[in-house]
Amino acid sequence: MKACNLVNVLCPVCGGGEYKALFDTRDYVFSCTDDIFRVNRCLKCGCGYLSPRPSKEDIPIYYPEEFYWSWEGDGESLGWESIVNKRRTQLEEKARWLSHIEPGRILDIGAQKGEFLWYMQQRGWEVEGVELDSSVPNPEKMPISYGDFLEMDFQEGAYDVITFWAVLEHVYDPKFFIEKASRLLKPGGLIVGVVTNLNSIQSRFYQADDYPRHLTIFTKDSVKRLCRDCDLEVDRVHTGQEIFGGSLSGGLVYFYKRLFGYSTVEGMSEWKQIKSPDLFWCQWRGKDSALVKNISRLDRLISYPLEKVLDKLGFGLTLSFSAKKAIDVES
């Protein structure tokens, strides 16, 4: 594991310098480093953010190849049809956010392998994408530009929709991304995005965010502020698991393991790693445990109805939003 340069930053949404420290965390998912990061809540706008965090130059270190295939599993062996089929429900739910709009020109930031671009192209949209990492495969040769979105030249006032599907929490300067996207939109154009919600049990107490790849953790109010500062008006906000998961389950298993001897790091490391789910859900220190399995069943039984209620009340982990550029804003 490599130790990286860590830097302290101001709030990436409002620039505020006053904060409340919430908790320390690590890279539990991919274990790219042993560095410790701190999650703060901005006292001005309410969003969460990582500080100290990896320097901008070191960020690529935290994106191993398996990050881009973790959703599909053994992605290298999958053909395009299999990749799309695995994401079929997710793609349908993303498209549902645009179902009230006639097909036009769409720009997808964080296009990954081009699945969403392909899906929308099949439905009559003129598609373009941006992917920050040039190592991500593009099996269908979709029109994707690779590199830093902020350094790319696009025609201003040319797009009907710009999407950020689970992107803004990853970028160093989310405000600059939204500012640029606002300039590229036509008057009346729409930005649609998905972020994580700090005002959720999963984010606040279960460390559900993918640290340190998640640099900013939003709230409804901070999303609205971010958009308003960029001449956009949020017209819809929703918490739910239709596009990306945000399960509440795991807390009971974690607290049981902590109560009977696990350290925070041991418990979180088992919970967040993705290579062997049974390590957390079915085992005690690497050995099968009937008691852990039964607690896991009880955990899921209790958490499922509760997470549905919290999603409905706006306190779910996954926060989707759309924001419109005013008709009278000069493009």
Asked if residue 209 belongs to a domain, the reply is yes
Burial class of residue 123 (count of CB atoms within 10 Å of its CB; 0-12, 13-18, 19+): exposed
Residues 6+ apart with CB under 8 A from 186: 157, 158, 159, 160, 325, 331
**Each residue of 259-305: pLDDT tens digit?**
999 999 999 999 999 999 999 999 999 999 999 999 999 999 999 99
Domain membership of residue 259 (yes or no) is: yes
**Per-residue model confidence as pLDDT tens digits over 298-324:** 999 999 999 999 999 999 999 999 999
Please give the mean pLDDT across all residues of the chain: 94
Q: Is 144 helix (H, G, I), strand (E, B) or coil?
A: strand
Instruction: Flag whether 285 is in a domain.
Output: yes
Same domain for 144 and 22? no
Query: Alpha-carbon Rg of the chain, whole angstroms?
Result: 20
Residues 6+ apart with CB under 8 A from 38: 21, 22, 23, 24, 25, 50, 51, 52
Q: In a 10 Å sphere around its CB, with 0-12 CB exposed, 13-18 middle and 19+ buried, how is residue 294 labelled?
A: exposed
Lowest mean pLDDT among 32-46, 72-86, 275-289: 72-86
User: Could you give the residue ranges of the DSSP H alpha helices within the chain?
Assistant: 80-86, 88-96, 115-121, 174-184, 201-206, 220-228, 251-259, 264-272, 278-281, 290-313
User: Do 207 and 295 sit in the same domain of this protein?
Assistant: no
Share of the chain above pLDDT 90, in %: 87
- For residue 106, being part of any structural domain is answered with yes
- CA nearest to 108, candidates 66, 60, 149: 149
Quick check: 85 pLDDT over 80? yes
1 occurs within a structural domain: no
Tell the burial category of 29 from Cβ atoms under 10 Å away from its Cβ (0-12, 13-18, 19+). Answer: buried
Looking at the chain, how many residues does it have?
A: 331
Q: What is the pLDDT of residues 195-247, one digit of tens each?
A: 999 999 999 999 999 999 999 999 999 999 999 999 999 999 999 999 998 99
Q: In which band, very low, low, confident or very high, does the pLDDT at 4 lie, cut at 50, 70 and 90?
A: confident
Phi, psi of 321 (to 5 degrees): -150, 160
Q: Residue 288 phi/psi, 5° resolution?
A: -55, 140
Number of domains in the chain: 3
The predicted structure's pLDDT at residue 327? 85
Q: Over 90: is that where the pLDDT of 68 sits?
A: no
| Residue 300 counted as domain residue | yes
Do 155 and 300 sit in the same domain of this protein? no
Containing structural domain, residue 221? 82-245+317-325
Residue 305 within a domain: yes
CA 10 to chain centre: 20
Angle between helices 290-313 and 251-259 (to 10 degrees): 130
The pLDDT of residue 10: 97
**Where residue 76 falls among pLDDT bands split at 50, 70, 90?**
low
Residue 191 sits in a domain of what CATH number?
Answer: 3.40.50.150
The pLDDT assigned to 67 comes to 83
pLDDT above 60 for 113: yes
In this predicted structure, what is the pLDDT of residue 2? 59
Strand partners, 232: 325
* 87 plus 168 within the same structural domain: yes
At residue 69, the pLDDT reads: 65
Q: What share of the chain is helix, strand, coil (3-state, %, to 5)?
A: 35, 25, 45
Answer whether residue 199 is part of any domain: yes
Same domain, 217 and 272: no
Give the residue-averaged pLDDT of 182-193: 98
Residue 331, pLDDT > 70, answer no
- Model confidence at 72: pLDDT above 70: no
Dihedrals phi, psi of 169, to nearest 5 degrees: -70, -20
Tell me the whole-structure pTM to 2 decimals. Answer: 0.94
Mean pLDDT of 62-83: 72
Task: Please give the share of the chain, as a percent, with pLDDT higher than 70.
Answer: 95
Residues 145 and 237 reside in one and the same domain: yes
**pLDDT of the residue at 135:** 86
238 and 266 in a single domain? The answer is no
pLDDT at 73: 52
Task: Give the model's confidence band at 3: pLDDT under 50 very low, under 70 low, under 90 confident, else very high.
Answer: low
- CA–CA dist 223, 197 (Å, integer): 10
Q: What amino acid is encoded at 239 in this protein? A: T
Specify the higher pLDDT residue, 78 or 24: 24
